[in-house]
């Protein structure tokens, strides 16, 4: 298993905290937003006496309600097309195991969520990256770039939409381009859509399962973690109209028996979260993003991939190595007793050498902290370069 | 992924139920025992506002308390030797991924819990079975049988103690024999000890981590599922004094971020379960086992592996194929509108052809139902053979 790009920094952050330094975390996608009360209350009010295994594929009732949730997002599926998983993580792991055999290849636009590589490696698959660029906000690479990489061993294209770590939201036209490729070459198209609700600037998310004719190719990876700020629940799901693929996923699910019961209760109740919750959360994220971008743009030599979704942003810094810089921030730099922890971006690239001067910032902090964090970054860069 | 041996029967059970037949389940290890109130209450009384990721390795507080639980069982470990997992299932999966590389071999006495094979296959490992026999209650096969199977690719021996599906409890002497083999050949010894508390007839469980000198070889797979009748929690753990091994496990754990938070709250509270709970549960299981064995012994031609632990028992029937018999029970046999569902034992063997006339019975039903179930079996056998 490859190591997470952030993990290497953890001991330095712990050391700094021991010395009394306040570390502002820009490195982790753990929202500070409150979990909907309706979800938390459902767990408090449960009347379980024997905490039994749930159904392997997730409780019937939850999956029925999930199908209705998807219908509201113009994704027409039924309970039988859904397998509930232990977090989006398990959904990814089952997806990797189900779309390909060991030594097969999957193409992923980079930078991508580092654990894609972890789960692919654990299943014996080879990740073939196709480069997307900060200058185009990490838009979909041209079709030719994908086609150059397709081999007889290629089994799928995997995307994250809206993207972690880029915040890029694929347009309908981009999804249609991908649809064309996977249909032409008979591949699966796996889309991690866990940030579906978090789209900004009036833009709407277009799911791979909204695209007609993609039913046999499309596999959605989903999770309640970010949607309802309940990362600790560990509930996700896989969705596909391809029943053969769902049967394969089910075999992986059977081996681990069932997803957690309390968390399914919370997740089922969370589906009743009012739209006003999302409106407020979205407003907050947009305000944070705007503040972050505005402040980052004031720093000389910093380039930003402008995010239209999720709550991440890649920034290119006027430095050579963001691994060293991130460690230096934790070890040596303080502004009024504070420093920041950032995620070096090289870990989000599979191509050696790419992203070395980039970092990922998660804007899951209140604006006041976010503003202080960018100020620290600014002063730190001055001192680091100078 | 290989299919679970019970799964093939599920559609037949569902069909029978649709027709109004009552199906008594002897096939599944889901206890009917109530979950300790202290565990359920802790979840009800939680004061979480943001349901965050827990630590990847499990909450510090829970792991500290787990270490104390183990100390009570003469297993001397500290929090850093423990990684909390999503059920025993994930513990098994991480164990398989951490003790060996793809194409390596692990030796397991058969019959064994069918999902061992599933997780091994998913990690690319090869399961090498060593046969244990019903005539010796499935005692440890002789050392020579193990040594014959050890190759340069052998990385570990995996046992389940007390055993699923056999109910066999390994003695201290048997554990010491295994210790000798793994030390001589520098292998890991993985013990699934999830039924630790369920030992009968005055016998005590002897853990692989009680055996001096085995610190670098021993890896315990554990779970709260059966201990506190909380299978739906999905909390387990891996325990080892081998810090290098724990570091490898941690990498798998990092990829899936964290174990479920609510379930950890329940599991932590469950550690305060009074001894009287276990005394009562044990008394109940012993009474069920005694009834089951007594009734089964009355059936001509039935041979039983007498269990001293867990809540399973393998029975050999005077038939040729228990897959066919189990299906016939569900499709064609009724006694006063009832039938039974059993687990055909061939699925618990890796050696083709073994266990074909055996079934596994889980005694997790009240005595009244258990008695009726064995009566149905008896009448069914008469009718099936005749």
**Contacts with A48 from chain B: Cβ below 8 Å:** 35, 40, 232
Instruction: Report yes or no: B275 at the A interface, CB cutoff 8 Å.
Output: no
Cβ contacts of residue A309 below 8 Å, gap of 6+?
A161, A162, A163, A167, A168, A169, A195, A198, A199, A200, A203, A205
- Cβ of A234 within 8 Å of Cβ of B49? The answer is no
CB interface of A with B, residues 94-153, below 8 Å: 97, 102, 115, 118-119, 122-124
Which of A2, A51, A257 is the closest to B230 by Cβ? A51
A262–B263: do the CB atoms touch at under 8 Å? yes
DSSP-derived letter for residue A335 is B
Residue B2 has pLDDT above 70, yes or no: no
Give this prediction's pTM. Answer: 0.94
CB within 8 Å of chain B, chain A residues 239-268:
248, 251-252, 254-263, 266
- Closest approach of chain B CAs to the CA of A193, in angstroms? 17
Angstroms from B51 CA to nearest CA on chain A: 5
A262–B257 CB contact, under 8 Å: no
Q: Closest Cα of chain B to A82: distance in Å?
A: 19
Q: What percentage of chain B has pLDDT greater than the value 70?
A: 99
Length of chain A: 386
- Phi and psi torsions of A322, nearest 5°: -75, -20
Q: Which residues on chain B are in Cβ contact (under 8 Å) with A44?
A: 43-46
Q: Is A84 helix (H, G, I), strand (E, B) or coil?
A: strand
| B33 min Cα distance to partner chain A (Å) | 7
Residue A367: count of CB within 10 angstroms of its CB: 14
- Chain A CB contacts of B261 below 8 Å: 232-234
With 0-12 / 13-18 / 19 or more C-beta atoms within 10 angstroms meaning exposed / middle / buried, residue A274 is exposed
Does residue A90 sit at the B interface (CB-CB below 8 Å)? yes
pLDDT at residue B273 above 80?
yes
Show me where the domains of chain A are located. Answer: 10-34+276-385, 38-270
Query: How confident is residue B314, by pLDDT bands cut at 50, 70 and 90?
Result: very high
Contact A50 B34 (CB under 8 A): yes
Question: What is the C-alpha to C-alpha distance for residues A199 and A371, in angstroms, rounded to an integer?
Answer: 22
CATH assignment of A38-270? 3.40.640.10
Residues with Cβ < 8 Å from B319, sequence gap 6 or more? Answer: B325, B357, B381, B384, B385
**What is d(CA A12, CA B152) in angstroms, rounded to the nearest whole number?**
40
CB contact under 8 A, A256 and B231: no
Residue B1 with chain A: CB contacts under 8 Å = 97, 248, 251-252, 254-255
Quick check: B173 and B143 in contact, CB under 8 A? no
Give this complex's ipTM. 0.93
Closest approach of A378 to chain B, Cα-based (Å): 30
Nearest to B289 by CA among B224, B192, B195: B195
Question: How many residue pairs bridge chain A and chain B with CB atoms within 8 Å of each other?
Answer: 184
The tokens for A219 are 């596999």
Confidence band of B247 (pLDDT split at 50, 70, 90): very high
Query: For residue B3, is pLDDT > 90?
Result: no
Q: What is the pLDDT along chain A (386 residues), one digit of tens a residue?
A: 555 667 889 999 999 999 999 999 999 888 899 999 999 999 999 999 999 999 999 999 999 999 999 999 999 999 999 999 999 999 999 999 999 998 999 999 999 999 999 999 888 899 999 999 999 999 999 999 999 999 999 999 999 999 999 999 999 999 999 999 999 999 999 999 999 999 999 999 999 999 999 999 999 999 999 999 999 999 999 999 999 999 999 999 999 999 999 999 999 999 999 999 999 999 999 999 999 999 999 999 999 999 999 999 999 999 999 999 999 999 999 999 999 999 999 999 999 999 999 999 999 999 999 999 999 999 999 999 98
Tokens for A263? 């968390």
Given CB atoms, is A78 within the 8 Å cutoff of chain B? Answer: no
Contact A339, A21 (CB under 8 A): yes
Q: Could you confirm whether domain A10-34+276-385 is CATH 1.10.260.40?
A: no
Helix (H) or strand (E) holding B281: helix B275-297
């Amino acid at each position: 298993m490859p190591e997470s790009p952030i993990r290497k920094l953890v001991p330095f952050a712990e050391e700094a905290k021991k010395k009394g330094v306040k570390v502002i975390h820009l490195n982790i996608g753990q929202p500070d937003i409150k979990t909907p009360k309706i979800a938390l209350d459902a767990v408090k009010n449960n009347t379980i006496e024997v905490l039994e295994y749930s159904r392997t594929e997730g409780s019937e009732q939850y999956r029925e309600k999930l199908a209705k949730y998807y219908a509201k997002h113009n994704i027409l599926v039924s309970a039988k097309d859904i397998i509930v998983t232990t977090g989006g993580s398990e959904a990814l792991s089952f997806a990797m195991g189900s779309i390909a055999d060991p030594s097969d290849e999957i193409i992923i636009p980079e930078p991508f969520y580092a654990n894609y590589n972890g789960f692919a490696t654990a299943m014996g698959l080879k990740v073939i990256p196709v480069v997307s660029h900060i200058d185009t906000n990490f838009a979909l690479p041209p079709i030719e770039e994908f086609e150059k990489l397709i081999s007889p061993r290629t089994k799928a294209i995997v995307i994250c939409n809206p993207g972690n770590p880029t915040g890029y939201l694929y347009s309908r036209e981009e999804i249609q381009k991908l649809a064309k490729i996977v249909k032409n070459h008979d591949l699966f198209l796996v889309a991690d859509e866990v940030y579906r609700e978090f789209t900004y600037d009036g833009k709407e998310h277009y799911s791979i399962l909204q695209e007609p004719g993609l039913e046999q190719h499309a596999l959605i990876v989903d999770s309640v973690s970010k949607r309802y700020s309940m990362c600790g629940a560990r509930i996700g799901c896989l969705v596909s109209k391809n029943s053969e693929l769902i049967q394969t996923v089910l075999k992986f699910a059977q081996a681990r028996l069932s997803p957690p019961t309390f968390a399914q209760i919370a997740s089922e109740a969370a589906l009743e979260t009012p739209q006003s919750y999302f409106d407020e959360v979205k407003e907050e994220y947009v305000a944070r993003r705007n503040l972050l971008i505005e402040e980052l743009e004031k720093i000389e030599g910093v380039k930003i991939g402008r995010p239209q979704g999720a709550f991440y942003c890649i920034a290119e810094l006027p430095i050579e190595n963001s691994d060293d810089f991130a460690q230096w921030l934790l070890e040596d730099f303080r502004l009024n007793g504070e420093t920041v922890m950032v995620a070096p971006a090289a870990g989000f690239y599979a191509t050696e050498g790419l992203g070395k001067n980039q970092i990922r910032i998660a804007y899951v902090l209140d604006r006041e902290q976010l503003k202080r964090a960018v100020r620290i970054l600014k002063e730190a860069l001055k001192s680091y370069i100078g």
